[in-house]
Amino acid sequence: MKRNYKFHWLSVVSFFLPLFFLFGIVFLFWLYLTPAERLLLTGISQIRYIFLVSYAGLLMIGLGFSLVWIVHHYIIPTTRLAEEAELIRSGNLSHRIQPAGSPALRKLSEIINAWASTLESEQIDIETKITEARSESETQKNILAAFMAELPEGVLICNLKGKILLYNKQAKLFLAGKKDDDRLNRDQKPGSYQYVGLGRWVNDVVDPHLVQHALNEIKDKLEKKESDVAAYFVISQHERMLRVEAAPILDHLRAFTGFVLIFYDITDQLQKDGRTQFLWQSLTRNVRSALTSIRSAIESLMDYPDMTAERRERLKQLIHTETLNLGKVLDDTTDEYGGFCTDSRWPLVFIKDDELLGIIKKRAAEKTGIELMVDGSLSVGWVRVDTYSITLAWLFILDRLKKTIGRNRFSIRLKRAGRFVGFDILWDGGPIKIENLNKWEGQVVKIGKEGLPFTLKEIMGYHHMDIGSYPGRSSTDPSHIRIFMPAFMVPEPNRKRGVAILPESRPEFFDFDIFHQSGQHPGMDSRRLTDLNYTVFDTETTGLDISGGDRIVSIGAVRIVNAKLLKEEKFDRLIDPARPIPEASTEFHGITDEMVAGQPLIEEALPQFHRFADETVLVAHNAAFDMRLLQINERYTGIKFINPVLDTLLLSAVVHPSLGNHNLETIAKRLGVEVLDRHTALGDAITTASIFLKLLPLLAQRGIYTMRDARRASQQTYLARLKY
């Protein structure tokens, strides 16, 4: 029941109850009087009615003053004393009660304050001892954190569902930011952003097909108990080429519970590899041309010994000139090649040729509906491949072959061709023209929604592959395409990635409880508040008349994951409101027209914030105002926020209904939260997030544990009636 309703009921009961008893006694007295006594009493009252009315009025005034005195000295102070004592016990030990009310309540307030001071002093001593006891562990933790932060490789640790549990700043640098509008993403909306953060999904920043392929490969290797259980693939991200190594994480029972993605920037190395390949081809061509000229001249000298002296001299001069040219070609190539490294950074691993065929056969049936019949040939060697890109290249070739000749069944056989393994794709009918193969090589490899930002020729080049078309020897023999790949009889040793096995107890350095937490789902109402992910945000505007045209000039937000405030995962944008900012508003938040000039419009900034807040609960102070702002901008951006919402203004009224002031600064002071950068969007968002975390245990003490509980309790407060 609301506090003002309680006061009204108390006033009514306290005022009318004595009157009820008084008139009850008078009524009983009247019943026992004789008619003569009643007549006498009636006459007296008619004569002395002024005295009786005055007496009744004084009685009512006395009752009113008594009621006010009791309420202000006992009722209200008692209620406030209970709430503030509870606040000291569970929220803010540094809070002190201002003595008020009767002498007994004042004395009780002083006793509680003294008890709080003693308890706070003891808590400080305990925390100091704990800090000293953990100093060595903290040092180790800081060393590990610094080491992770400074790694040149990007690192993501995820659970099996793909939720990010840990990342370093290099991973964020590699992956976060504006999505590439490359050949495979032409239908993507401009301004789309991807974020790396705790509790977010790895599929938002890495192609889910690649991740799933790597996880399937890891599972197969674990089942076969192979020594190298890692999987490898390449991605293109923000004009970078990243080599990705995926390794499993096993729990103490060796169950597959998560995975690590390690990102290596191979952009420069791949450019060097391409340049090296070009130099090699150029060297081969020039050397072959020079040797041909020299051999032709020498053969002429040998075949015609009686030639004229003049012709003999010209041939000698030709040989001399070609040898000089050959030396120059070698010198130029050596100079240009000097700084290059021939070790390719493309993630190639060894696999038996028949095992590769098994993978391709399975994927072809799943992705293209093509049936491959392997003729049962035994393995003729090992090949060195990136399993994902080579499989996709095979599917691309099979799909083009299917569309060209109109067949969906092919035979496959293995043949050894010198230093190469030949993969023959056979069918009955005419051969494929060389022009078709050349056309395929220039196309980007893509099957349905799955693809890579490379052409078939680029993938084949990094695998040192070649492809040719061959007709049957007779009209009854099948035609075939042969894919050549370098063969290895004994594979070179790979660098093996060890398996990370978690201890039975929780690791000291990082909280991995989120391994076993479920993701967001429609049943969010039944989930505990401490289990949800939150985006705590605030806005600054050109003014407070949002229905009259005032616009957003700044949005700031931080995230709460696993009941922890992540200040590093922030959203902080200035926004051009496309209208002047009044001086009165600038004095309030400090944002001027010059500061927002050239900044993104709301049409670009709001989709970015929508992406940042995806799959989280929105939290704000006086959220009705901020949500109304977002709603008004729907018609400009097409972005609709459907996230659940919690309001710290209302939640504060839930836990402290007798404390009337619930503005941000008052609540922060009450809960012991430091206020920084007041009236900036990001500063107020951080303050709101800290307040929200302080409110969670206070809500739990009132039996409010779930999202549904919090929303219902908020709706019952009188502050919920505020509208904008």
pLDDT band at 333 (very low <50, low <70, confident <90, very high): low
- Quick one: tokens of 486? 């370098």
Buried b (16+ CB within 10 A) or exposed e, 496-527: ebebeebeeeeeeeebbebbebeebeeebeeb
For a pLDDT cut of 90, what percent of the chain falls above it?
10
Identify the CATH assignment for 151-266 out of 3.30.300.20, 3.30.450.20, 3.30.1320.10, 3.20.20.80. 3.30.450.20
- For domain 519-721, the CATH architecture is 2-Layer Sandwich (3.30)
In 59-208, at which residue ranges do the beta strands (DSSP E only) sit? 154-159, 164-167, 177-178, 193-194
The phi and psi torsions of 248 (rounded to 5 degrees) equal -80, 155
The helix (run of H) or strand (run of E) holding residue 263 is: strand 256-265
Sign, Cα dihedral of 337, 338, 342, 347? negative
Closest to 702 (Cα-Cα) out of 78, 7, 9, 83: 83
Most confident option among 179-193, 225-239, 644-658: 644-658
Q: Judge whether residue 359 has pLDDT over 60.
A: yes
Q: Can you tell me the mean pLDDT for 388-408?
A: 88
- For domain 349-486, the CATH architecture is 2-Layer Sandwich (3.30)
Determine how β-strand 256-265 pairs with β-strand 617-620: unpaired
- Please tell me which residue, 117 or 389, carries the higher pLDDT value: 389
- pLDDT value of position 619: 92
- pLDDT value of position 692: 94
Q: Can you tell me the mean pLDDT for 221-240?
A: 83
- pLDDT value of position 536: 95
Closest to 423 (Cα-Cα) out of 461, 386, 470: 470
- Please tell me which residue, 61 or 709, carries the higher pLDDT value: 709
How far apart are the C-alpha atoms of 203 and 214, rounded to whole Å? Answer: 13
pLDDT band at 381 (very low <50, low <70, confident <90, very high): confident
Closest to 337 (Cα-Cα) out of 290, 289, 272, 271: 272
The phi and psi torsions of 201 (rounded to 5 degrees) equal -105, 135
Sign, Cα dihedral of 640, 645, 647, 650? positive
How far apart are the C-alpha atoms of 222 and 254, rounded to whole Å? Answer: 10
- Please tell me which residue, 150 or 717, carries the higher pLDDT value: 717
Residues, the chain: 724
User: What CA–CA distances, in Å, run from 10 to 5, 221, 300?
Assistant: 8, 74, 126
The helix (run of H) or strand (run of E) holding residue 425 is: strand 420-427
Closest to 211 (Cα-Cα) out of 175, 261, 254: 261
Determine how β-strand 240-250 pairs with β-strand 231-237: antiparallel
- pLDDT value of position 346: 61
Low-confidence winner among 223-227, 278-282, 499-503 (lowest mean pLDDT): 499-503
CB 610 within 8 A of CB 679: no
- pLDDT value of position 11: 59
How far apart are the C-alpha atoms of 422 and 414, rounded to whole Å? Answer: 6
How far apart are the C-alpha atoms of 259 and 230, rounded to whole Å? Answer: 10
- Quick one: tokens of 517? 């937490």
Task: Break the chain into its structural domains and give their ranges.
Answer: 3-124, 151-266, 270-337, 349-486, 519-721
How far apart are the C-alpha atoms of 9 and 14, rounded to whole Å? Answer: 8
- Quick one: tokens of 661? 């002031």
- pLDDT value of position 535: 94
- Quick one: tokens of 16? 């009318």
- pLDDT value of position 573: 92
679 is catalytic: yes
Q: Judge whether residue 73 has pLDDT over 70.
A: no
The residue behind tokens 């967001």 is: 520
Q: Can you tell me the mean pLDDT for 643-653?
A: 88
Q: Can you tell me the mean pLDDT for 687-716?
A: 89
pLDDT tens-digit series, residues 533-571: 999 999 998 887 776 778 899 999 999 988 889 888 899
Q: Judge whether residue 374 has pLDDT over 90.
A: no
CB 535 within 8 A of CB 619: yes
How far apart are the C-alpha atoms of 127 and 40, rounded to whole Å? Answer: 82
User: What CA–CA distances, in Å, run from 231 to 194, 196, 456, 468, 487?
Assistant: 24, 22, 22, 30, 21
The phi and psi torsions of 643 (rounded to 5 degrees) equal -60, 145
- pLDDT value of position 475: 66
How far apart are the C-alpha atoms of 201 and 181, rounded to whole Å? Answer: 20
DSSP 8-class letter at 507? P
CB 724 within 8 A of CB 624: yes
- pLDDT value of position 3: 47
Mean pLDDT of the chain: 77
Closest to 464 (Cα-Cα) out of 539, 386, 398: 386
Q: Judge whether residue 627 has pLDDT over 80.
A: yes
- Please tell me which residue, 294 or 592, carries the higher pLDDT value: 592
| C-alpha Rg value of the chain to the nearest Å | 40
pLDDT tens-digit series, residues 241-266: 888 999 998 877 788 889 999 998 87
Q: Judge whether residue 340 has pLDDT over 50.
A: no
pLDDT tens-digit series, residues 511-522: 333 333 333 455
- pLDDT value of position 555: 94
pLDDT tens-digit series, residues 139-194: 555 555 566 666 778 888 898 888 888 888 888 888 877 655 443 443 444 445 77
How far apart are the C-alpha atoms of 600 and 627, rounded to whole Å? Answer: 20
Q: Judge whether residue 7 has pLDDT over 60.
A: no
- pLDDT value of position 723: 47
Most confident option among 35-39, 494-498, 641-645: 641-645
pTM metric for this prediction: 0.58
The helix (run of H) or strand (run of E) holding residue 445 is: strand 444-447
User: What CA–CA distances, in Å, run from 681 to 454, 559, 572, 579?
Assistant: 43, 14, 8, 19
- pLDDT value of position 497: 54
CATH T-level assignment (fold) for domain 270-337: Helix Hairpins (1.10.287)
For a pLDDT cut of 70, what percent of the chain falls above it?
73
Q: Judge whether residue 197 has pLDDT over 50.
A: yes
- pLDDT value of position 426: 87
- pLDDT value of position 513: 36
Residues with Cβ within 8 Å of residue 24, at least 6 apart in sequence? none
